[in-house]
Amino acid sequence: MCRWLAYSGPAIPLSTLLTRPDHSLIDQSRHATQNVETTNGDGIGVGWYGQDKTPGVYRDTHPAWNDANFRHLSDHIRSGLFLSHVRAATGTPVQNTNCHEWR
């Protein structure tokens, strides 16, 4: 089962919800307690709106907890509207096209 996080409110660094809290989305991807599998390690995707009219998008097949690039970006990207996803593959390939592209 995949895990999702959506945010709409004042602009904040993405890391405020995705990486910093004790039960952040990234923490949940590594320690899922209500899944058949205990990890969601088959990719991450995040889409956000910033100052441009088009959304920013980041996605990769790395486990979210082991993606240093994502952690760095989430500290520096501020948004008032974003959606993120950590993936646990259920029979489909682990590839970028299966890590949602939020456009």
Contact 98, 92 (CB under 8 A): yes
Q: Cβ atoms within 10 A of the Cβ of 32, count?
A: 18
pLDDT attached to residue 27: 74
pLDDT attached to residue 7: 95
The single residue of 2, 11, 12, 89 carrying the catalytic annotation is 2
pLDDT attached to residue 80: 96
Cα–Cα dist 73/7, whole Å: 17
The DSSP H or E segment spanning 28 is helix 25-30
Please give the domain boundaries of the chain with CATH numbers for all domains: 3-98 (3.60.20.10)
pLDDT attached to residue 34: 61
Q: What are phi and psi of 60, to 5 degrees?
A: -160, 165
Active-site residue flag, 99? no
**Rounded mean pLDDT for each run of 10 residues along the chain, 103 residues in total:** 85 93 76 63 84 89 84 94 80 61 55
Single pTM value for the model: 0.79
Contact 43, 99 (CB under 8 A): yes
